[in-house]
Amino acid sequence: MDQLSDEQQAEIKKTSSDRLRVRLVKAGYSEDEVAEIERADLIRLYAQYLISPPVVVTAATLAAGTGEMALRMQELELKRQELERLKLKDAEDRELRLRELALREREQKEKEIDRERQRQKDEDDKKRKESLGKLVSMAMR
């Protein structure tokens, strides 16, 4: 009570016990509790309430908190969507790299097959030339 101004202290002391009970009930205390409290304790309790009133949540503060919460939730949702987009992009990039690798392997195999065909053709051409050369030389004899 010493923390209150002299004016406040005098006003509390002049206030009737019933009025102090009503004010404490309005402040959030239980009606049953304040009904049983002695005057000296009522004065001390009301003085304590005036010194450090509880935080009152009004519709405006609740709306502001709700608005902040909604904004935070939207930010989190946007971050989640961005992460999901990045995951999809990474997956698409990985799929593209795998397809490119498979394409290169297929092209390399086709080149090897082409080289083998060309080698076989060259070998067959060489054998034909040798056979033709032998036939010509036999025909000339």
Tell me the residue type at 52: S
What residues does each domain of the chain span?
6-51
Structure tokens of 34? 């304040």
CB atoms within 10 A of CB 29: 16
Q: Identify the helix (H) or strand (E) that includes residue 36.
A: none
Q: Please report the beta strands in the chain, taking only residues with DSSP state E, as ranges in sequence order.
A: none
Summarised one tens digit per residue, pLDDT across range 90-113 is 999 999 999 999 999 999 999 999
pLDDT at 111: 96
* pLDDT tens, residue by residue, 36-82: 889 999 888 888 888 887 655 556 655 666 677 778 888 888 898 99
